Amino acid sequence: RGTLAKLYENVEADLVEAEKTVTAQGTPTDQIYLTKDAITAFRAELALHLHQYTEASQYAQSLYGTYPLVTTAEGLERMWREDTSTENILQLEVLRTTMTTVNSFGSYLNSSWEPNSGVYFYAPTYIPEQHIVKLFKDADFRTDIFLVKNANVTISGNKGVGVLIGKFRGNKNFQTNTTTLVYRNRPKMFRISQMYLVDAEAQ
């Protein structure tokens, strides 16, 4: 078994080889392809792991101008319900016919649609604690995308109303009807929001 140092050497060698091969610079519309920007994002993450903080910040900051952060609820909803966003640097292609190749986040909701009442009923394996819910203010545009408020919850036969994690409802274009959620998204390998976190940690 190789050492950790050897592993990083191999990663570096692969990145150098990729830089020789990949020619496209990258834009938010090229996100399903491996681009130079995706390699830069990889290098930012790698530099942070190696405690090369100056380099990590430089790599991360070099991508800011090309991939704008989402600043509206509509934009955030498109990111998680349609897999479309200016934040995505590299997002792998997945179709409805191949969506089962990616992980499902169904355990956060486990929803079933009740047609007579026109609402979802949920049986989640996790309900966020109150101190987590309080982190999201009403004025925060992320709140209604990331949380399901006043959710009808049934756990072990006990019914109630609560707040659930709603971020991972899945790409609605993967759904075979309008009410059955699929809980699957195209894998977002690198996003600009990650680069801001890398930069912040490297400071």
Q: At residue 154, what are phi and psi to the nearest 5 degrees?
A: -125, 120
Helical segments of the chain, H only: 4-21, 36-49, 53-61, 73-81, 130-133, 143-146, 192-202
Instruction: Fill in the amino acid letter for 34.
Output: L
- How high is the pLDDT of residue 165? 93
- CA-nearest of 126, 160, 125, 165 to 144 is 165
pLDDT tens for the 203 residues of the chain, in order? 789 999 999 999 999 999 999 999 998 887 899 999 999 999 999 999 999 999 999 999 999 999 999 999 999 999 999 999 999 999 999 888 888 888 888 888 999 998 988 999 999 999 999 999 999 999 999 999 999 999 999 888 888 999 999 999 999 999 989 899 999 999 999 999 999 999 999 99
* Residues found in the chain: 203
User: pLDDT digit string (tens) for 79-94?
Assistant: 999 999 999 999 999 8
Domain ranges of the chain: 4-93+187-202, 97-174
111/92 Cα distance (integer angstroms): 26
Q: What pTM value is reported for the model?
A: 0.88
28/1 Cα distance (integer angstroms): 39
User: pLDDT digit string (tens) for 149-158?
Assistant: 999 998 888 8
The pairs formed by 12-16 with CB atoms below 8 angstroms and a separation of 24 or more are 12/46, 15/39, 15/42, 15/43, 15/46
- How high is the pLDDT of residue 103? 83
- How high is the pLDDT of residue 173? 92
Q: Both tokens of residue 131? A: 């101190």
